[in-house]
Amino acid sequence: MNDTKYQSLSENPDSGVTGQVNPGSITGNTSSSRPSSSITTEKISAPDLEYKTSFIDQQHLYIRGYIQAADQKATFYFAFFAAIIGYSETKGFLKAWVVNIYEWKLYEALSCVSSVLLLFAAFGCLWVVKPRLFGSKRGLVFFNAITEFESQSEYFSEISTRPALKIFEEKVKHCYDLSKVCSSKYRTLGISLRVGGTGFALLIFVSLLS
C-alpha cells in the first residue's frame, strides 16, 4: 500500500509535492493535510518578498522625507546668509578690506575672512539643493534612467517581463542611490553651517571693532 502511494506521488507532477519524497514518511490516509516540507520555494518566498518590498517602500518615503527636509533647511539658511551678506554690504564691511593688502590691520583682515566664509556658506547651501542625477543610464525606477527607453511600450514590456524579484532589486538599488544623495546633502549642509556660523561670529566681532 505504501509503495503505491509513493509511486503516485513521484509520478504525478500536479500533486504539489516537490523534491525527493521519502516513502517511509508517507503513512495513514492519503487525504491528510500536506506536510510543510512540500511547499514550493515560490510559495515560501512570496510573503517574504512582499514584506521586503513593503520595507523598501517605507525606506523610500523615509529617505525622500529627509532629502526634502535638507533642501528646505538649505533654502532657509541660504536666505539667512544672504541677508547677513546684504547687511555687511550696507555697513561697509565688505568694502573695508578692498584696499592694499599691505595696509590691512585686524579690522580689514577679519572683515575679509568673515565675508569669504559667509559667501562660501551661501554657495554651499545652494549646492545642497542642486539636483543629483547620477545613477544607471537605463533602469526601471529613476526617472532619468526611464527616459532611456525608446518608448512607453518598451518600458511597459520591460516591466511586464521582469520577474518580481528583479523589480525588487531595482527598487533596492534606487533606495541605496537615494541614501547617497541624502548623505551628501546633509554633509554639505553641515559644512556650510559650520563655516557660515564662524563667518557670522567674526562679523559680530568686526562690528564691535568698527
For residues 101-117, give the mean pLDDT.
81
Q: Quick check: helix, strand or coil at residue 6?
A: helix
CA 38 to chain centre: 40
Q: pLDDT-derived band of residue 89, with 50, 70 and 90 as boundaries?
A: confident
Does the pTM surpass 0.75? The reply is no
DSSP 157: H
> What are the tens digits of pLDDT across the range 118-157?
999 999 999 999 887 665 666 777 777 777 777 788 778 7
CA distance 117 to 132: 25
